[in-house]
Structure 1
Amino acid sequence: MKAAVMEKAGAPLVIHDVAIAEPGPREVRVRTAAVGLCHSDLHMMQGTYPLPLPAVLGHEVSGVVEAVGTQVSGLKAGDHVVGCLSVYCGHCSVCASGHQVLCQNPEVKLPPGKANRLRLAGNPLSQVFNLSGFAEEILVHENALVKIRDDMPLDRAALLGCAVITGTGAVFHSAKVPPGSTVVVVGCGGVGLSVINGAVIAGASRVIAVDMLPAKLELARKFGATDVVNAGDGDPVAQVMQLTGGGAEFAFECIGLKQTAEQCYAMLAPGGTATVIGLFRPDARIELPALDFLKEKRIQGSFMGSNRLSLDIPRLVELYMQGKLLLDDLISQRISLEDINEGFIAMQSGSVARSVITFPGVGGL
């Protein structure tokens, strides 16, 4: 099969013929239909998060089941599925406590280079995030997949596995935004737009989008933002405070920068909650004014939207089918696997919300 391989940090990905193993116990092989390009992949490519090389990235993926191994239950050949990096075991103490998204059990969540599912010229390739979706096929643990209805378009379904479940989950699960709330979203990429969409679905009365690119702010309006703030036109904190008359009840950081995380906290009204979603550099530190804690302002993290994978993805599919989840508008361009490097260049330019690699002929695409 063809796969885009990361050979070294800072270099373009290279298309190679890669061998994929047969499914073992509780493993499923999937023919890839679509895979989104995510900033997390870009961070890996740039060497921000080192990993054993060569490797295959890609984790926002959908496809059709080709074959299943022994002990697999609930999935069969022909099923349409969405993959997600928050694979879980289902029986450790973390899963039993209701936080399966934080499961680290090595029987399902293997570090890069340990899975031995992919090979290039006879040598092992690192499977990143236990998925490696930048390939014509993937081989994963069954708990990394969720079956979806067959009439859900698979190019849009791929986005559910990362950007959408992360953004909407941060609203629904991490922050638990109630109807009538005032929400500010800093960063209007794929995740930020999903936060905006989720806040609208949750019934927020006011959603303020903050970004430096006018095109992204215009797209934010399409996703339901009631107000937009261009951070390049002056202090965004002051602009939000003026718009809200004293701060927002909820703020979401969707970039992964020290400055924007601190700004989100500063944008809160007393008693407000800032939820940090963006992926930071490993050495990043955030500084906050201590006296603001006396105002009962809170800051918290959210990983993959605190998701319950097997429940959330089918529900998100239904929201899309009802016209409430705006996945069509989230896709800026559809590209081939061979155009993957151009897709990442477009991401860095800020000209796209989401680029999706599609594999024609798979699952109706």
Structure 2
Amino acid sequence: MPITTRAAVVRGTPGEYETATLRLDEPRSGEVLVRLVSAGLCHSDDHVATGDIPYAIYPVVGGHEGAGIVEQVGDGVSELSVGDHIIFSYLAVCGRCRWCAAGMQNLCDQGIAMQTGARPDDPSSYRLTEDGAPVGQMGGLGTFSEYSTVSAQAAIKIDKSAPLDKVSLLGCGVCTGWGSAVNSAAVRIGDTVIVMGIGGIGSSAVQGALHAGASHVIAVDPLAFKRDFAVKLGASHAVQTIAEAGDVARGLTNGQGADAAIVTVGVVTGQHIADAFSTLRKAGTVVVTSVSKSDAVGIPVPLPELTFFQKRIQGALFGASNPTYDIPKMLRLYQEGQFDLDNMITTTYSLDQVAQGYRDLHAGTNIRGVVIFD
């Protein structure tokens, strides 16, 4: 039987999240029902409200980072049981498509349904309704909800010793930032790395670059609060602009430039990428992790420099991570004290405060906010 759940929804763009009472389906075959303990306030969910990430249906329940406890299991689910603790993976993993078989789970073919708000196997079927009308789920998850029914392929079982009020960020932001440095930028020992934008993803990228052995990590952010936080994480330098970062990188490398520049700003433009491109040494890499407006095109880079200096512009979805491997790995690193997750959580909110959480994000007062459910 369907259950009732309170959730934060956005009803159109541009809009703000508001709390609503919805009907939620019990799990079908291959699905699980999860009681949420925490949900991260990722910038991508704000993009759904602003329209930078268009959705096929409104209203839609936001949230794609979450951690909770399995309450009910649908037919055909063997890897999860009632009472299991889980972290949601931002991307469900089928394990069978070309991309999963090649070790690129972040590109799983199930991603085709990410912006539909519907079940991935049936674009006309929605798990949530309001007064009989369908309501979408961000990323097929909708973690800004007391309960969520999701594909079992998007639920990663974790040890019950992990603090569910903290680890929801591992389902997207942490792996995205960390992987942007470790996987996409392929940072090596002794490298000089620029991270452009110090929010939740940028903070994770700083830590990933340091873990991979970078000698110098140059954090870029206009806000002193975020620059100071990057230094606390271990960044060697923190500056206001990407032009300053380029000068620092060249000063550290006998004029050559950064080995990698990772772009993690709130809404990326072609100019951001071009500015990062200008800081690189020969054969350096710009990693573009940020979301752009849906109609954005063009990167104004000097084409001779692209060819003759052999520079690379690399996109990064979910930090090129494999959720079934990387989420448990990052959890272990956190539990072993090798990743600072606790201090990344600047403010906690109730479900009714989601809109305020995003106002705080725009005001630049948070590294990352987290919703804590009663």
Same fold by TM (over 0.5)? yes
What's 1:5 paired with?
9
What's 1:349 paired with?
363
Cα distance between partner residues in 2 of 1:270 and 1:108: 38
Aligned residues between the structures: 359
Q: Contact 1:257–1:278 at 8 Å: present in 2 too?
A: no
Q: Contact 1:89–1:108 at 8 Å: present in 2 too?
A: no
What's 2:273 paired with?
261
What's 2:247 paired with?
238
Q: Contact 2:179–2:321 at 8 Å: present in 1 too?
A: yes
**What is the CA distance between 1:236 and its match in structure 2?**
4.3
Q: Contact 2:36–2:146 at 8 Å: present in 1 too?
A: yes
1:183 to 180, 185, 193: 193
**What is the CA distance between 1:242 and its match in structure 2?**
3.2
- 1:80-137 per-residue CA deviation (whole Å, 9 max, x = no partner) reads 1111221121112222222221122379757224341111112111122110011001
What RMSD, in angstroms, separates the aligned Cα atoms of the two structures? 1.7
Query: What pairs up with 1:1-365 in 2 under 5 angstroms?
Result: 1-51=5-55, 52-105=57-110, 111-113=116-118, 114=123, 115-231=125-241, 235-245=244-254, 246-255=256-265, 256-284=268-296, 285-292=298-305, 293-360=307-374
Cα distance between partner residues in 2 of 1:126 and 1:244: 50
Cα distance between partner residues in 1 of 2:153 and 2:28: 14
**Identical residues among aligned pairs (%):** 37
- 1:218-271 per-residue CA deviation (whole Å, 9 max, x = no partner) reads 000111101111119x65433443344321111101112322211211111112
**What is the CA distance between 1:145 and its match in structure 2?**
1.1
Determine helix, strand or coil for the equivalent of 1:332. Answer: strand
User: In structure 1, what residue type is equivalent to 2:337?
Assistant: G
Cα distance between partner residues in 2 of 1:257 and 1:239: 23
**What is the CA distance between 1:77 and its match in structure 2?**
0.9
Cα distance between partner residues in 1 of 2:20 and 2:116: 22
User: In structure 2, what residue type is equivalent to 1:281?
Assistant: K
Cα distance between partner residues in 2 of 1:283 and 1:334: 33
Q: Contact 1:63–1:154 at 8 Å: present in 2 too?
A: yes
Cα distance between partner residues in 1 of 2:336 and 2:138: 33
Cα distance between partner residues in 1 of 2:113 and 2:354: 28
Q: Contact 2:185–2:262 at 8 Å: present in 1 too?
A: no
**What is the CA distance between 1:307 and its match in structure 2?**
1.1
- TM-score scaled to structure 2, two decimals? 0.92
Cα distance between partner residues in 1 of 2:302 and 2:113: 40
- TM-score scaled to structure 1, two decimals? 0.94
User: In structure 2, what residue type is equivalent to 1:268?
Assistant: L
Unmatched 5+ residue regions in structure 1? 361-365
Cα distance between partner residues in 2 of 1:107 and 1:162: 17
What's 1:363 paired with?
none
Cα distance between partner residues in 2 of 1:349 and 1:240: 29
Cα distance between partner residues in 1 of 2:326 and 2:308: 35
Cα distance between partner residues in 1 of 2:190 and 2:346: 31
Q: 1:108 to 1:280 in 2, by over 3 A?
A: closer
Q: Contact 2:271–2:300 at 8 Å: present in 1 too?
A: no
